[in-house]
Amino acid sequence: MARSIRIRGLEIGEGLPKICIPLVACEEDEIFREAAEVKRAEPDMVEWRIDRMGQALDTAAVQRVLAGLREIFPDIPLLATFRTVAEGGACPCSPRDYEAVCRAVVETGLADLLDVEYSAGREAVGRLSSMAHAKGMYVIISAHDFSGTRRRACCAAGGHDSRPRGRMVKLAVMPRCASACGCAPARH
């Protein structure tokens, strides 16, 4: 049975579907202009795509922008996402760079949720999840698998947790047919 969670007054898992608007600008000033525009749209949640920023590997710049976003969105849940190129992101990076950027986000304590890629590996997922939970952040374990799904593996890696500050699993998949079971395509 799914549980709902409350983040900054937003109940996720209950009521109407929630609207999350991503911030995808490349330069700091553009990010803040985009954020002001998004705020006027009154989203339920905001996702900052760190990998889209030109200085994505500069952890001080990441922390500075995150601080500015928290000022713009003091009451709106903020999801921090650094998507690697392998998972569809915009910034080439090493596993060490990926983990350093995610750690920099966690150190600020300013994001409410941190997206951690399943493909980062069990140890990195565990380290980042533990750090985020210690700061009171939720963790979303994401997998972008367009040839199948890895839900069970994500849960085993820490995407499911019964604690109040548990982790969530996000799967991006590519449907191959209209059938819900994945069998042969439905015929019309």
Q: What positions carry a catalytic annotation?
A: 144, 170
Q: Which residues contact 73 (CB under 8 A, 6 or more apart)?
A: 35, 39, 46
CA 150/CA 64 separation, integer angstroms: 34
Sign of the torsion formed by the C-alpha atoms of 23, 107, 9 and 75: negative
C-alpha to C-alpha distance for 111 and 75, rounded to whole angstroms: 11
Q: State the Cα torsion 179-181-184-186 to the nearest 10°.
A: -20
**119 within 8 A of 87, measured Cβ to Cβ:** yes
Using alpha carbons only, give the angle 142, 99, 12 rounded to the nearest 5 degrees. Answer: 35
Strand (E) or helix (H) holding 35: helix 28-40
